[in-house]
Amino acid sequence: MITRNRVESRDLTIGIVGLGYVGLPTALGFHDAGFNVIGLDISERVINSLKRGENPGDDPAFDGAIPTDEKWNITLNPSEAVPFCDVVIVTVPTPVLDDHRPDLRFVKSAGVSIFENITREKRPVVVLESTVYPGVTREIWGPLLEKYELEEGRDVDLAYCPERFVPGDPEHGVRQVPRVVGANDSGVCAALADLYSTLTTGEVHPVSSIEVAEAAKVVENVQRDLNIALVNELALIFPEIGIDVEEVLSAAATKWNFHRYTPGIGVGGHCIPVDPYYLIQKATAAGAPVDLISSARSVNANMPKQVATRILNNAAKLGRTPNNLKILLLGWSYKPGIADVRETPSEPLASALIEAGSKVYVWDPFIQKDELQDAPVIWVESPIDVSADVVVLCTAHQVVLEIDWKELRDTSELGLFYDGRRVVNMNDLRNAGWITAGVGYP
């Protein structure tokens, strides 16, 4: 059983299930803090790389950082890890199904591999970190405890500590971010709070139950979705009355408690556009209203189509119909500086433009052509290869912002530029010869 004394004396073996972009830095962090760590993953490639002391992924932060000492153990086999653990931390993906219901397969399979292998006498605590909706830990793992005849509080304890990893933001990694931890046993919760305090320099905030911790994580992301939806809706309003939404938001942001968000082509990633559906599902099942959360989600989900309409309207004002209009999207990744296409708004934007009859080209040096999945777009190695009529900034990668706008303009017959993230200076574009447009721009 985990206790504050055992945390203090580093007398704990910690298992990490899932060695991805959250699990690996978590395992390394606890190893650095002096604990015995056993890493577990289902990928032979990941396990073999780590066994060779090599970085298994493309994040350079892990180059040369994989330990080889006796406190660092890696295995594919749960029976070589779980029986020796006092703490098992689960950092597996929780994507969504096509109908936006959470896909909890990985949470369940991790639970099976853990609960069939734990040593009851050790009374280990099993901590879920993956983003879920309130109740999932108990809904998915509770039946497994029964199946393996494990009594919570005697043979095992459960806890939830939401991951808050921000892809592409080294300032907010697992070693820095504040954490929330919830468990039904207050002593276990206090010891876990001490344990996570050896991992992160941020505050660790204990709460009274697993469900409160699950809800806190979802609420963080629901709030972000709502705030982005507000500025996206304002971006549809103000151009209709001849006002630039960005000028309005910058002015409003001079107020001390105004939270500044930026309108764009849409909301991507595996968190913000996903987590609200978790809470919507849970609230609907409980018979509670979800009007605001649902409306915000649909505003953001519809933003790519709204932007496509405005791009084509701008082209029409220049005498061009959508047919055979050559449109270049700068960026496919859902956010700058990373290669991640999950829920990217570039995809529905491209689909809407293609459905209208245009030809859509994509340039994104962060991702590989095969990551476009089956999107019917044309992949280009350079923006100037296209001679596009319309150029749309979708992802504000630094390499996109550094494009020579004059050189690119010389390749465009129509010369229409649409800033989908409001990150380029419109005067610079006009000085380079572009006809300028953008989300929220009149």
**Would you tell me which residues interact with ligand SAJ (CB under 6 A)?**
163-167, 220-221, 224, 228, 261-262, 264, 267-269, 271-272, 334-335
Q: State the nearest-atom distance from the C-beta of 128 to ligand SAJ, in Å.
A: 14
Which CB atom, from 166 or from 378, has the smaller least distance to ligand SAJ?
Answer: 166
DSSP for 33-82, written as a single string: TT-EEEEE-S-HHHHHHHHTT---SS-GGGTT----STTEEEES-GGGTG
CB of 334 to ligand SAJ, least distance (A): 4
Comparing every residue's Cβ against ligand SAJ, the nearest one is 269
Report the nearest approach of ligand SAJ to the CB of residue 343 (Å).
8
Judge residue 15's burial from the number of C-beta atoms within 10 Å of its C-beta, 0-12 exposed, 13-18 middle, 19 or more buried.
buried
Contact by Cβ (8 Å): 261, 230: yes
Q: Cβ distance 85 to 58 under 8 Å?
A: no
Of 221 and 358, nearer to ligand SAJ (C-beta) is 221
Q: How far is the CB of 215 from ligand SAJ (least distance, A)?
A: 14
Distance, CA of 339 to CA of 336 (rounded, Å): 8
Closest CB to ligand SAJ among 115 and 133? 133
| CA 346 – CA 344 distance, rounded (Å) | 5
Which one, of 357, 353, 406, lies nearest residue 384 by Cα?
406
Is 189 assigned a catalytic role? no
User: C-beta of 395: minimal distance to ligand SAJ in Å?
Assistant: 8
- Kindly state the helix (H) or strand (E) to which residue 436 belongs, with its residue range: strand 435-438
Distance in Å, CB of 266 to ligand SAJ, minimum: 7
Please tell me the distance from the alpha carbon of residue 372 to that of residue 374, in angstroms, as a whole number.
6
Closer of 261 and 379 to ligand SAJ (Cβ) = 261
Q: Which is nearer to ligand SAJ, 326 or 335 (CB)?
A: 335
Closer CB to ligand SAJ, 185 or 419, in the complex:
419
- Residue 147, SS3 per DSSP: helix
Among residues 85, 161, 189, 271, the one annotated as catalytic is: 271
Rounded to an integer, what distance in angstroms lies between the CA atom of residue 430 and that of residue 420? 16
Catalytic machinery residues:
271
